[in-house]
Chains A and B, each alone.
Chain A
Amino acid sequence: MVHEISPQPPRVGPVTIALNIKDRSGAPVAGARLNLEGNMSHAGMTPVFAEASETEPGHYRSMMELSMAGDWHVTVHLTLPDGRRLDHEFEIRGVEP
């Protein structure tokens, strides 16, 4: 799974997360359901949630509202068309105020 964040550098407020998902053979994974969860690196902060929609086969786009500056840890909860579930994690570092 490849992800891309915009704007760069990311700022507090809405950010767009583009996700490109391929299987082991390199074929795009279409028809998956993606739920995103963003957590701050400090405990006690309310997480933010978002869903992603498929823009073309294997390409997904989500709008996440980052409520605070700092480092964010994003978990993508992925449900494949056959029902299998996977988690993918990445960080958005240094979100500016």
Chain B
Amino acid sequence: MFKFLASRLVQMGFLFVVFLSLVWLMLQAMPGDISDTLVGNPSIPLSVRLELRDSLGLNEPLFFQYLTYITNFFRGEMGVSFSRYPQEVSTILWTALPRTLVLFLTATLFAFWLGFKTGKLIAWGRGASSEKGLIVTGIFLQTVFYPWFAILMLWTFGFFLGWFPIGRFIDARLWQNSPYDANELFGQMIITALIAFVVYAVGRYLISRYSNNIVTQGRLAQGLGVLTLGGLVLYWWVNPAREYTWDITHHTMLPVFTLSLVLFGATMLLTRSAMLETLGEDYILTARAKGLPDRVIRDRHAARNAMLPVTTSLVLALAFVIGGGIVTETIFSWPGMGLIFLQAINVSDIPLAVGALSITGVLALFGHLLADVLYAVLDPRIRVA
């Protein structure tokens, strides 16, 4: 297993260097001089410009420029932003990255969890009255024009119903005199959520190890879930920063929900067809012959196998999540990496834009890796390869 991971990581590293190289080539292909592209902005004083040219290796022959570029990236040196001078690109992105990660992860996890459950139930139900409606909804969600859909969601839930704020990360007026810093608070929220998640994961592992009865396992797992989630909510409920954390959460809910809806539709449809196919397999007939209860057949046998093609599709969904994330952040004015990226493009802040693009590439890579690992965990046949 570890060999598999290690070899994949190496592969990924290599692919990423190739990706970076392509980005660099694209930079070269841009009209104008490369030093203008990266450094030539009037808002940067000349002395700083000369320094930058040096650190970015722009005074050297082409090949060394390339090397410097690659190594710089791994050192975190991505130049200085034009539009937000004097902020460095890496600083800007470092603040924005956790936000985008939260958006992606929450939306993906929620969409896959709900989509898988729904698809599984539909396929098992075989012709229940709700099936047609859900399938149509799924297809609608999958094919609707996403930016337009996001606008509609924002208008409906934010403007018309007023249940959610109309975009943005926080309500600036609320935070004017607050003792807290939004980014710090957000960081704290992420950390506590991670802790809760780790506790849950460890707990699940211990349960599966020490309980032999499937039914008690299920009940314990549910209890554990309630406990960790409840603990998390409780912690922030009694926290004096409650108002502020709620503000952040409230602003994050609608973008996450909108992004997850489309993924939900696609996952549900895919799970349904994967289940239908799995249900035709021989081992399902054997499971029925063994006298196993319906739920066990559906969940332990059929759904577990249907998970495999769905996980593979996770890889393709990644491309959508990233693109969709950019659109979501833009429509909701939610300051994640996607919004920064688009804004940078619009004002020709090339260093910032390229930096964001590279980080996006890293994210895509890791997503791929995660999906591959997940697949290997799920399918014992792959592990030998």
Partners in one complex: no
Please give the residue numbers on chain A whose beta carbons come within 8 Å of chain B beta carbons, in ascending order.
Answer: none
